[in-house]
């Protein structure tokens, strides 16, 4: 007997991270596979609108009556690029990729380790939307950090090899650049430290925690 959440995503890395997170809570996450182009991603200015739209479309394809279905939309927001790629992250990743983002920031260099983090500051953001069988719940998460000057590591997916998370204090809040936090990747990207360390910082984990905090006590599936 377990509670099951069906996660509609085309991204195996996102599925794995959600499975890891929910597993600790005794919830099984299964990928909901729908034929390509069943779900249209709207051109929208914010992640919440995209997530709500994907979830509304997914409700027409529930695997069974009463099923809990989740979608999640995430993006990388680079401050020096006015938030680009943001909601265009999928498109940017599949066209210019990590090297393209690095090229756009190549003029932002400094020998001072604090100044360079400020110049290249960025955040990952995620919005998770869950249909719990009765209502739509939304969870949001942010992970602050900076863009590395080169691709580092091969772990994870997407922009992980160019993203250095900000250190965290012992309550999990990001500390300012130059301050050593209680939790630190010591300047390494998510691509170097891998998914288990990423989990401690992750926008996805925060969005899922926010979502779960709104769920009434889960009844296990029969």
Residue with token string 């990747």: 185
5, 22 in Cβ contact below 8 A? yes
Q: How far apart are the first and last CA of the chain?
A: 6
Active site residue 73: yes
C-alpha to C-alpha distances, 128 to 46, 98, 107, 123, 147, nearest whole angstrom: 13, 24, 34, 16, 24
Q: Does 32 bind ligand ITT (CB under 6 A)?
A: no
Q: Does 74 bind ligand ITT (CB under 6 A)?
A: yes
Q: Does 75 bind ligand ITT (CB under 6 A)?
A: yes
Using CB under 6 A, which residues numbered 11 to 30 contact ligand ITT? 11, 14
Q: Which of 80, 119, 157, 183 binds ligand ITT (CB under 6 A)?
A: 157
Q: Which of 86, 139, 145, 158 binds ligand ITT (CB under 6 A)?
A: 158
Q: Which two tokens stand for residue 126?
A: 């995620």
Q: Which of 90, 149, 197, 200 binds ligand ITT (CB under 6 A)?
A: 90
Q: Least separation, in Å, of the C-beta of 220 and ligand ITT?
A: 26
Identify the sign of the CA torsion 191, 206, 186, 75. positive
Contacts of 61 (CB under 8 A, 6+ apart): 32, 34, 38
Task: Please give the Cα distance from 15 to 115 (Å, whole number).
Answer: 35
Q: What is the size of the binding site for ligand ITT (CB under 6 A)?
A: 18
Q: Which of 204, 208, 211, 212 binds ligand ITT (CB under 6 A)?
A: 204
Query: Active-site residue among 33, 37, 46, 73?
Result: 73
Closest to 199 (Cα-Cα) out of 146, 150, 156: 156
Q: Which lies closer to ligand ITT via its Cβ, residue 27 or residue 74?
A: 74
**What are the residues binding ligand ITT (CB under 6 A)?**
9-11, 14, 73-76, 89-90, 93, 124, 156-160, 204
Q: Could you list the active site residues? A: 73
């Amino acid at each position: 007997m377990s509670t099951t959440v069906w996660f509609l995503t085309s991204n195996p890395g996102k599925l794995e991270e959600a499975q890891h997170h929910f597993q600790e809570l005794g919830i099984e996450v299964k990928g909901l596979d729908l034929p390509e182009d069943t779900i249209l991603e709207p051109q929208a200015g914010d992640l919440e609108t995209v997530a709500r739209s994907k979830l509304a479309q997914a409700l027409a394809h529930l695997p069974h009556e009463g099923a809990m279905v989740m979608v999640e939309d995430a993006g990388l927001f680079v401050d020096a690029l006015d938030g680009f790629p943001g909601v265009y992250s999928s498109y940017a990743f599949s066209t210019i990729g990590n090297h393209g983002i690095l090229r756009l920031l190549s003029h932002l260099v400094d020998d001072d380790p604090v100044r360079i983090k400020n110049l290249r500051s960025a955040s990952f953001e995620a919005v998770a939307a869950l249909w719990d069988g009765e209502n739509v719940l939304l969870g949001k998460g942010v992970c602050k950090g900076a863009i590395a000057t080169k691709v580092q590591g091969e772990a994870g997916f997407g922009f992980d090899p160019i993203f250095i998370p900000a250190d965290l204090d012992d309550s999990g809040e990001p500390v300012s650049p130059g301050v050593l936090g209680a939790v630190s990747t010591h300047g390494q990207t998510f691509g170097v430290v891998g998914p288990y360390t990423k989990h401690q910082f992750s926008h996805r984990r925060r969005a899922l925690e926010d979502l779960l905090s709104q769920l009434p006590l889960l009844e296990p599936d029969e």
